[in-house]
Every structure is written in C-alpha cells, then in structure tokens.
C-alpha cells in the first residue's frame, strides 16, 4: 500500500510534499517526487545529493529518499526546487528492499517517462523478459512500467499509456509524467483507489478522498479509466479513449486534521480518546430509528446467518461480534480473515448477511472479499471509520465508527469503536426479532457507562511498570477462553506490531496440547480471566504455566490474586459481557509503553502501514 499524489499549479512541489505527508499512513519505507524544471539541474547543491537526485535534459527531475517523508523534506528544503507540475509517492515495499533505488518515482532510461504507482503488477517478471535491452536500476514492478511506456511510445502520450496498461495484470493507480506534456499529469486506475480533480488554477491527483485538497470538482476514477489532469481541467477517458463525463464528488469528510496536542505519540492520544470514540459511536446509533437508517429491518428479519470478514485488528473485532451475536441473538455467525475468504470455494447461503470490518475502508483484501460476496448475491455491510473510503462505494450499507481519524498504525480507539458497534448491532437484531425497539437505547446506556469506566480508570502507572518488566523478553504468550481468547488475540497483535516481541495468543485450554512445551522462566504469559463460566478452568491453565516456571500476569475482575502470579491487574468490576471493551485498554497501554521503552516509534512501526491497499 503506497500513496500517490500529483499537483499542477503554483508551488506544485510543496503541495505534492504535503500531499504525500497526508498519505504517509499508507506506507513510509521511502518517498520521492518528480517535477518539471529546466533550471533545477544548474543547482550546485545537487552534487551533495548524488544518490538522491536524478536530472534529465528534457526538464524532468527526480528526488528520492529512504525512510520517512521528513527525510525527503529535508533535502527538498535545502535544494528548494520550484515547479508547476509535480508527482509524489510514499512507499510500503512490495517488490524490492525499502531503499533509494527502489523508491518511487521510477523512470524510463531516457527520462522521458516518470511513474508513481500504488498496487502490484503481477506479470512484471514476464514483461521484464521482453525488455532485455533496457538497463534497470531497481527491482520494482513499477520501473518495468516506465520502460514499457518508453518502448511502446507512439508519439501520443495517452494512447501509449492505455496500450501499456492493456498488457498489465494486477492492480495499479499510476500518476505519470511525460517530457512532451510538462503541464499535465496522466492517471490510470485498476483496482487501486485514486481521485482526480481541479480547482482555481490547479489540478490534483490523490490516492484517497480524505487526503486530497478539497476542490469543487473531484472525480473518483473507476477501473480501466484514464485521466489527464491540468490546471482548471480534468478529462477522463475509458480504455477505448472515449471521453467520459463523471459526476463530481461533493460529500467531503471535513474531519479536522489531527494534531498531537500534548501527547508524545498519536497512539497514546488515541488510547486516551477511546471513551470519546465509544461515546460518539454510541450517540450516532443510540436508537432503533438511527440504526434502522443504516441497516433496514427487512435485512435483519430474513437473515439466516452472518458472515463477518476483516483483517488484523478488524478481524479480532469480528470475533467479538461473533460471540455477542451468537450468544445474545442465537444467529450462527462465522468470521473469516479476508485474505483467506478470497480463496474459499464455498458459496455462503444467499440469506447470509456479510459484514466487513475495516478501519481505513481501503484494505485491498477486505474490498476484494466484498466484491466476491456481492458476486455470491449476499447483502453487504461495512463497519468503517473513514467516511467516503473505497469500501463505502462497494457495499450495500455502511455503519460508521465515530472514533475520529486514527493515525497511529496500531489500531486502538477504532477497535474499541468497532466492538461498540457489535454491541449495538446485537441489540438491534434482538430489537427487530423480538419487536422491542427500546433494546437499542438500553444498550447505548450500558455502553456509555462503560465509556465512563474507561475514562475514570487510571491505569498508566501499573501498565508502565509491567511494560518495563516484559520489554526485554523474547516471547510473550497470551491466553483466554471465549471473549477472553479474542481479547488475547488482539492484545498479542498490539504488542508484537509495535515492540517486535514475538507474541502468541492461544485458547487457554489449547496451551497444554503443545505450546506449553515452550514455557520456561524466560517467558511471560498474560491470562485474561473475565468470564465467570470459564474462570476456574483458566486458573488451572495458569497454574500449569506457573508450575513450569512461566511468569504469569493475570487480568481479572475476580478476587483470584495470589503470590504465584508475577503480576495481577485488577480490572474494574463491571458486567463481564463488556470486558472486551475494557481489558484491551490495559494491553494497548502496555504495548505502547514497551515500544517507547525500546526506543521504537509506536506510531510508525517497521514494515507496517496504516492501510494495506495491496493483496
Ligand atoms: C492493527 O493494529 C493493524 N495495523 C492491522 O492489523 C489492521 O487492523 C489491518 O491491516 C486491517 O486494517 P483495516 O481495519 O483498515 O482494514
């Protein structure tokens, strides 16, 4: 998943730089810009950046840098290039190491073509075999596209682009410069999101609606569409080069930019915003009428089972949803990892309601699963945190979590908001099936109470101490039963993705069937014991671990503390059904403090990105 941005108009380079900074959530392994300028190559400071700067006689210039965009910005501030046409890219490596060579933009040998790309060209190897006379400097699929454009150039830029795209297999959103058209950016789209637009004396290209300059005319390209972007104008064509008149998109999501405030990291800020995220989500759907607007009663009345699909944290939220719906509504609910569902040759019953959970609404695996479900004839619902995200345009119905913009890669407040929706959804299902609309409002009151418990729950000191205890251990195991197991899974993901410590979550009863052989005095185990019905059994599993020297940290609201525990976290005494909303906040904070103690950046963990827009 990468971010592409392009701008035609004054200050194009700073506009493009700011554009890719807004897209940094899509990847930050490396970044770069390309721009037209006939004078830049005369800048005598370039010699200090030979690895980063490439200039061509035709006026095209490229600056690239490894790592976060701030490093690219430093070079640009020193060299201070000026241009009226620029394209930029922030990368999450899919082909080739995250270094300068593989950073975008990529260009043809003669420098006549420059490309930034979000997506994966699946047949790039085969295409590269047909380019043996070309010298490649990177191991990326995108550079192959740049060389293809050069090879097949027939004098007409757009025709050449359409022709080359017809040879590609895979997903792409391209922004392309050609030396013949210094005032235009050419765009091509297939299965990767891209929007184009124009305003007073400018034109713009961006990977998503929420990062683009708000313009009076913005168009969301569809697959096999091409655009020519220039100041005050955008033209859109199909792959037969017939002009298409797209309806401009108007419904902007004017969420204010997030600032860090007094927090050191967005992740800590967002953990502290969990109560507000729950409250705002509840307020949005705190009555039967409000939820009915999002999901019609008719859909609930005839459903036979529910299929919940997502990735990572969103998948874990789906597991909580499964438990709530099955046990509280008696409806069979399956949960699938989106990238696995894609390859199941099993057609769900047509009365299955498919619910897709996705914070960003841009996750390629999840969006593909939506398309498959629709092809099966299922009704589809998205639970997403980003208005106007790609998934919103794919599904039949959308429920919005109202967690506010989530910037840290590790999802926290959005996860709590996602499971909040599942509490409200199970209430809505029961309200429809039992003709008791008041159940939704009742549920919303319970959830507001839980938000207040979290708000007043001062846990940072103990979580900090525990973080310092576990920060150097090699492996952490996490166990629970039922809801506690699903919380353990999410807790394990949080800890591993920002501390890089190996974590494994296991159903408590499963540990003794193999994994317990890994337990010794160097291992920590978190045990979640919040459900009365499984308390005794899980305590037995805890004792099995202690007897093998494992250090056990227990999280429970029950009076079960004893000296054999390495640590005991006394959870607030609330209705155990709502423990998934509360117990996870301890682990989110512990994970955050471990990451900080290890001097990592919890907001931008290595190898990850906020939105995974490649399969
Ligand atoms: C969560 O902390 C991770 N960053 C990751 O697992 C994420 O949940 C997953 O990529 C799904 O993203 P989505 O919710 O935006 O679809």
Q: For residue range 413-429, what is the model confidence (pLDDT) as tens digits?
A: 999 999 999 999 999 99
Distance CA 85, CA 377 (A): 45
Last residue of a domain, one of 432, 456, 480: 456
**pLDDT attached to residue 258:** 66
* pLDDT, tens digit (0-9, with 9 covering 90-100), for 324-354: 999 999 999 999 999 999 888 888 888 899 9
Same domain, yes or no: 449 and 477: no
Same domain, yes or no: 270 and 183: no
Last residue of a domain, one of 412, 436, 456: 456
Same domain, yes or no: 470 and 447: no
Question: How distant is the alpha carbon of residue 231 from its chain centre?
Answer: 31
- Percent helix / strand / coil, the chain, rounded to 5: 40, 20, 40
Same domain, yes or no: 179 and 213: yes
Range in 142-156, 245-259, 359-373 the model is least confident about: 245-259
Structure tokens given for 482: 């039922």
412 C-alpha vs ligand 1 centroid, how far in Å?
10
463 C-alpha vs ligand 1 centroid, how far in Å?
23
Identify the residue whose C-alpha is closest to ligand 1 atom 8.
313
Identify the residue whose C-alpha is closest to ligand 1 atom 3.
410
CATH at residue 387: 3.40.50.10490
**pLDDT attached to residue 565:** 96
418 C-alpha vs ligand 1 centroid, how far in Å?
12
* pLDDT, tens digit (0-9, with 9 covering 90-100), for 483-513: 999 999 999 999 999 999 999 999 999 999 9
In this model, does residue 88 exceed pLDDT 60? yes
* Domain membership flag for residue 251: no
* Domain membership flag for residue 260: no
CB-based contact 587:494 (threshold 8 Å): yes
Q: For residue 566, which of 500, 482, 477, 498 has the smallest C-alpha distance?
A: 477
489 pocket-lining for ligand 1 (C-beta < 6 Å) = no
Same domain, yes or no: 231 and 278: no
339 pocket-lining for ligand 1 (C-beta < 6 Å) = no
From 267, 309, 312, 358, give the residue whose CB has the most ligand 1 atoms within 8 Å, as the site to mutate.
312
Domain that holds residue 585: 460-597
385 pocket-lining for ligand 1 (C-beta < 6 Å) = no
Q: Which residues are catalytic?
A: 2, 610
* pLDDT, tens digit (0-9, with 9 covering 90-100), for 52-78: 999 999 999 999 999 989 999 999 999
Same domain, yes or no: 180 and 293: no
Same domain, yes or no: 449 and 467: no
Same domain, yes or no: 22 and 119: yes
Domain count, the chain: 3
**pLDDT attached to residue 303:** 85
Structure tokens given for 346: 């099993």
* pLDDT, tens digit (0-9, with 9 covering 90-100), for 1-46: 789 999 999 999 999 999 999 888 777 789 999 999 999 999 999 9
Same domain, yes or no: 421 and 480: no
Backbone angles phi, psi at 529, to 5 degrees: -130, 85
Distance CA 293, CA 159 (A): 45
Last residue of a domain, one of 412, 438, 456: 456
Q: In 10 A of CB 419, how many CB atoms? A: 30
**pLDDT attached to residue 325:** 98
**pLDDT attached to residue 257:** 58
In this model, does residue 118 exceed pLDDT 80? yes
Question: Buried b vs exposed e over 164-177: b needs ≥16 C-beta within 10 Å?
Answer: bbeebebbbbbbbb
**pLDDT attached to residue 250:** 73
311 pocket-lining for ligand 1 (C-beta < 6 Å) = yes
**pLDDT attached to residue 309:** 98
Same domain, yes or no: 180 and 220: yes
- What is the CB-side half-sphere exposure of residue 594 using CA atoms within 13 A? 27
* pLDDT, tens digit (0-9, with 9 covering 90-100), for 92-110: 877 778 889 999 999 999 9
In this model, does residue 216 exceed pLDDT 90? no
360 pocket-lining for ligand 1 (C-beta < 6 Å) = yes
Distance CA 306, CA 326 (A): 9
Identify the residue whose C-alpha is closest to ligand 1 atom 16.
358
**pLDDT attached to residue 89:** 97
What mean pLDDT do residues 604-608 have?
90
Same domain, yes or no: 169 and 25: yes
Work out which ligand 1 atom sits closest to the CA atom of 363: 16
611 pocket-lining for ligand 1 (C-beta < 6 Å) = yes
* Domain membership flag for residue 612: no
Q: Is 331 helix (H, G, I), strand (E, B) or coil?
A: coil
Instruction: List the Cα angle 217/84/201 in 5-degree steps.
Output: 35
* Domain membership flag for residue 613: no
- What is the CB-side half-sphere exposure of residue 385 using CA atoms within 13 A? 26
* Mean pLDDT, rounded, of the chain: 94
Same domain, yes or no: 63 and 119: yes
What global pTM score does this model have? 0.81
């Amino acid at each position: 998943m990468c971010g592409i941005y392009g701008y035609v108009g004054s200050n194009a380079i700073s506009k493009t730089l700011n554009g890719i900074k807004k897209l940094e959530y899509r990847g930050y392994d490396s970044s770069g810009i390309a721009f037209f300028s006939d004078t830049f190559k005369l800048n005598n400071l370039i010699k200090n950046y030979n690895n980063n700067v490439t200039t061509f006689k035709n006026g095209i210039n490229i600056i690239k840098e490894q790592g976060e965009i701030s490093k690219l910005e430093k070079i640009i501030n020193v060299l201070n290039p000026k241009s009226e046409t620029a394209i930029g890219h922030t990368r999450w490596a899919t082909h080739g190491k995250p270094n300068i060579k593989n950073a975008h933009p990529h260009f043809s040998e003669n420098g006549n073509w420059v490309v930034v790309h979000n997506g994966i060209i699946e047949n790039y190897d085969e295409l590269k075999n047909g380019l043996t006379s070309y010298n490649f400097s990177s191991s990326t699929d995108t550079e192959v596209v740049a060389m293809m454009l050069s090879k097949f150039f027939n004098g007409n830029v757009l025709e050449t682009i359409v022709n080359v795209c017809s040879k590609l297999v895979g997903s792409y959103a391209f922004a392309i410069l050609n030396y013949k058209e210094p005032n235009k950016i050419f765009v091509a789209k297939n299965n990767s999101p891209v929007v184009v637009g124009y305003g007073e004396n400018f034109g713009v290209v961006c990977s998503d609606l929420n990062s683009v300059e708000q313009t009076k005319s913005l168009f969301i390209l569809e697959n096999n569409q091409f655009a020519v972007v220039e100041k005050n104008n955008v033209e859109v064509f199909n792959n037969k080069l017939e002009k298409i008149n797209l309806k401009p998109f108007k419904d902007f999501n004017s969420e204010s930019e997030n600032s860090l405030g007094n927090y050191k990291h967005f992740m800590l800020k967002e953990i502290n915003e969990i109560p507000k995220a729950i409250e705002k989500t509840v307020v949005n759907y705190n009555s039967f009428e409000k939820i009915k607007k999002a999901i019609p009663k008719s859909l609930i009345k005839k459903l036979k089972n529910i299929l919940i699909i997502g990735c990572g944290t969103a998948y874990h939220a789906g597991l909580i949803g499964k438990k709530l719906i099955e046990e509280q509504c008696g409806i069979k609910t399956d949960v699938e990892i989106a990238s696995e569902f894609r390859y199941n040759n099993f057609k769900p019953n047509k009365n299955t309601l498919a619910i897709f959970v996705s914070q960003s609404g841009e996750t390629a695996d999840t969006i593909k699963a939506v398309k498959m479900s629709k092809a099966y004839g299922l009704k589809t619902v998205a639970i997403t945190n980003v208005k106007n995200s790609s998934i919103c345009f794919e599904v039949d119905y959308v429920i919005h979590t109202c967690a506010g913009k989530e910037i840290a890669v590790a999802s926290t407040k959005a996860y709590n908001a996602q499971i909040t929706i599942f509490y409200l959804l199970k209430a809505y299902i029961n309200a429809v099936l039992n003709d008791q609309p008041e159940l939704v409002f009742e549920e919303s009151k319970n959830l507001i109470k839980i938000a207040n418990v979290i708000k007043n729950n001062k846990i940072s000191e103990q979580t900090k101490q525990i973080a310092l205890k576990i920060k150097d251990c090699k492996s952490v195991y996490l166990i629970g039963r039922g809801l506690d197991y699903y919380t353990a899974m999410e807790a394990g993901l949080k800890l591993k993705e920002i501390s890089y410590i190996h974590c494994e979550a296991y159903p408590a009863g499963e540990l003794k069937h193999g994994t317990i052989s890994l337990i010794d005095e160097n291992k920590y185990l978190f045990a979640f014991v919040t459900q009365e019905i499984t308390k005794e059994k899980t305590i037995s599993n805890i004792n099995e671990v202690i007897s093998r020297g494992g250090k056990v940290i227990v999280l429970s609201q029950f009076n079960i503390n004893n000296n054999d525990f390495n640590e005991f976290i006394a959870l607030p005494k609330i209705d155990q059904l709502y423990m998934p909303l509360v117990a996870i906040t301890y682990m989110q904070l512990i994970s955050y403090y471990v990451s900080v103690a290890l001097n990592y950046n919890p907001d931008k963990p290595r190898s990850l990105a906020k939105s995974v827009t490649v399969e």
